[in-house]
Amino acid sequence: MQTEKIELDERFGKEYAGCYVFSEISWAKRSRIIQKHTKYHPLTGQVVSSDFITIQAETIWASLKEQPPNKPITLEKLLNEENGISIGLGELFSQIVNKLNSVTQEETTFLSEQSADKNQTQPSQNSASAKNSGGHRSSSEDSQPKPSNNSSRF
């Protein structure tokens, strides 16, 4: 599993300064988080609504393996609307976790747009993924992710 280590300065506040280690989570864990916060139509199985904020917060929490000794990050703090973490820090954590868990830029844009909308469903625009399932390999399938132990300073 890939990991990424970041060292934060005091830009987001003294309490958040220090070393954080994030690790890729399993497909099963990510799927369970999504299922837990998504409502499906009982007959059609189509998505009725999803709580994208909670999905992202729980994904960050599941990926966070180490943090400074004062433990400034909690799931409650990630979810809190009034006394939660800053937008900048949340976006930084989201970018790291999405990269580790292979969330594409299109998926990130979709999730960001959907969390801002009241109607949190979007119909499928094409069936490109179904077309690619006929045994043909797409270029994205040919490029396998490489394990990394990245270390970044922010």
**122-141 pLDDT per residue, tens:** 444 444 444 444 444 444 44
Q: Is residue 138 part of a domain?
A: no
Q: Is residue 116 part of a domain?
A: yes
Could you tell me what percent of the chain has a pLDDT over 70?
67
Q: Provide the number of structural domains found in the chain.
A: 1
Q: Is residue 23 part of a domain?
A: yes
State the DSSP string of the chain.
--EEEEEE-GGG-GGG-EEEEEEPPPHHHHHHHHHHTEEE-TTT--EEEE-HHHHHHHHHHHHEEE--TT----HHHHH-SSSS--HHHHHHHHHHHHHHTT--HHHHHHHHHHHHSSS--------HHHHTTSSPPPHHHHSPPPP-EEEEE-
Q: Is residue 143 part of a domain?
A: no
What range defines the domain where residue 114 resides? 3-120+148-153
User: What are 91-130's pLDDT values in tens digits?
Assistant: 999 999 999 998 766 666 665 565 555 444 444 444 444 4
